[in-house]
Chain A
């Protein structure tokens, strides 16, 4: 309980960098504990702000004229509410700002169209065909289509294209699907699949596709000397000063060989410097402790193994991660598939 508060405070006060903020927002979507704590924090602050507001206006509220004036306005409103329709429309549409509300309205509109045009009957038939043992679409064809969609989404994610596609990309995708028929799209999928079936994906290519530097989060508070050194090293890491960061983490580890964070981020700094042997050495120590950062350490050891051509070593790490429900499970399974294991 309360473990995320420093993080939440930094986020709400704008103390995180652009990339840290994105990581936080992504984590907010997936981590229910963080979400609950964040919601509580916001609610508490809003409630207390409301309390302070009321206390500050109470002296003014004792002014009888304000009370009388507001009662007159309400009486006028209640006598002829239709007169306020255009203002009401303005206020209601302006307060409909949350994505959730907009999505709910859109979903209701979609449901209405589904009911009117009886679309459920048609799509149910499609789903039954897809799921049945003797489909009108062959199993191979289904797998090809599935792989096409999956690999397309992975390329989209890894190339950091915004999830809200740029208008140009959206136009392109929608135009392709309008012009090209379903069978042609399936043919394109076959080409991807053939390539996948005949040749395993190059381990180095897998590294390049999946590697992203780990986002370091730190709070900007002053503490003892070690804490300050740690913050300094993390700041250098975040700013891409990997040589300095690596040296600083080495110093921290020399002071305390059990410092898991220093071992982990030291390992990551060395990956960026291309010092893979040292990186694996440091990350393996993190993995051996089986405490904080163990999963992340396994992930990066797996990626380094791909980079250095140690496919067996990579397989071991991704196999373990594929069995662990969490952030890396799905991608690890994809990598294993591509390693043809």
Chain B
């Protein structure tokens, strides 16, 4: 399960190995995006918060007395969440200030932020509409269990899990692509 253990991640970051940064970005940026989009952030916000969060953690990891007391991804998420909250506070303060100072109304296009959130919600809703077996298998797949491990956990055959997973993924994508909200979002080309 997974490519790097938490200890390996810490050692690679200490020795400044770039490939682990790319791994962390690929693996954990999606959860940071979910966090950011929920509060109306943009993909750039997500990228910036993720990078800043990682920078903050590396500075801490460099210290020899650093000890990880939870999962690496938990700590990363906590740092990014608090960082994002501080950014939102500053933006609210800035927006209030601008609203007081300027005569004309500032119109900001929130289409992209709105679409990101709608898209995320849509994906989750479609997942929840799949049959329970699909939900179980796909959840374990996203938790990085192999088909063999999934089969053992759920009491199915390996062949069945592979076939069912493929069918569930097809159903997922088909439902998504046929949803009117998906077509609207794709039409606006904000995502």
Binding site for B on A (CB under 8 A): 1-2, 5-6, 9, 37, 40-41, 44-54, 56-57, 60-61, 63, 65-67, 69-71, 73-74, 76-78, 83-84, 87-88, 90-95, 97, 219, 221-222
Establish whether residues A48 and B123, one from each chain, have CB atoms under 8 Å apart when the complex forms. Answer: yes
- Assembly CA distance A24 to B139 (angstroms): 27
- How many pairs of residues, A versus B, come closer than 8 Å at their CB atoms? 148
- Chain B neighbourhood of A41, CB < 8 A: 169, 173
User: Of B69, B71, B123, which one neighbours A57 at CB under 8 angstroms?
Assistant: B71
- Chain B positions 56-106 with a Cβ under 8 Å from a chain A Cβ: 56-60, 62, 69-71, 73-75, 77-79, 81-83, 86
Establish whether residues A5 and B170, one from each chain, have CB atoms under 8 Å apart when the complex forms. Answer: yes
Report whether over half of chain A's contact residues are helix, strand or loop; otherwise say mixed.
Answer: helix
- Chain B neighbourhood of A70, CB < 8 A: 75, 78-79, 81-82
Q: Least Cβ distance of B16 to chain A in Å?
A: 5
Establish whether residues A47 and B71, one from each chain, have CB atoms under 8 Å apart when the complex forms. Answer: no
Binding site for A on B (CB under 8 A): 16, 18-19, 21-22, 25, 28, 30-35, 51-52, 54-60, 62, 69-71, 73-75, 77-79, 81-83, 86, 120, 123-124, 127, 138-139, 142-143, 159, 163, 166, 169-170, 172-174, 176-178
Establish whether residues A9 and B169, one from each chain, have CB atoms under 8 Å apart when the complex forms. Answer: yes
- Chain A neighbourhood of B51, CB < 8 A: 88, 91-92, 95
B33 and chain A: residue at smallest CB distance: A50
- Chain A neighbourhood of B16, CB < 8 A: 90
Establish whether residues B59 and A222, one from each chain, have CB atoms under 8 Å apart when the complex forms. Answer: no
Known contacts A48-B142, A54-B77; is A84 also within 8 Å of B70 by CB?
A: no
Establish whether residues A52 and B59, one from each chain, have CB atoms under 8 Å apart when the complex forms. Answer: no
- Assembly CA distance A87 to B71 (angstroms): 22
Q: Least Cβ distance of B123 to chain A in Å?
A: 5
**Could you name 9 residue pairs across A and B whose Cβ atoms are closer than 8 Å?**
A47-B30, A48-B123, A57-B73, A60-B70, A69-B78, A74-B83, A87-B58, A91-B21, A92-B51
- Chain B neighbourhood of A87, CB < 8 A: 55, 58-59, 62
Establish whether residues A93 and B173, one from each chain, have CB atoms under 8 Å apart when the complex forms. Answer: no
Q: Least Cβ distance of B20 to chain A in Å?
A: 8
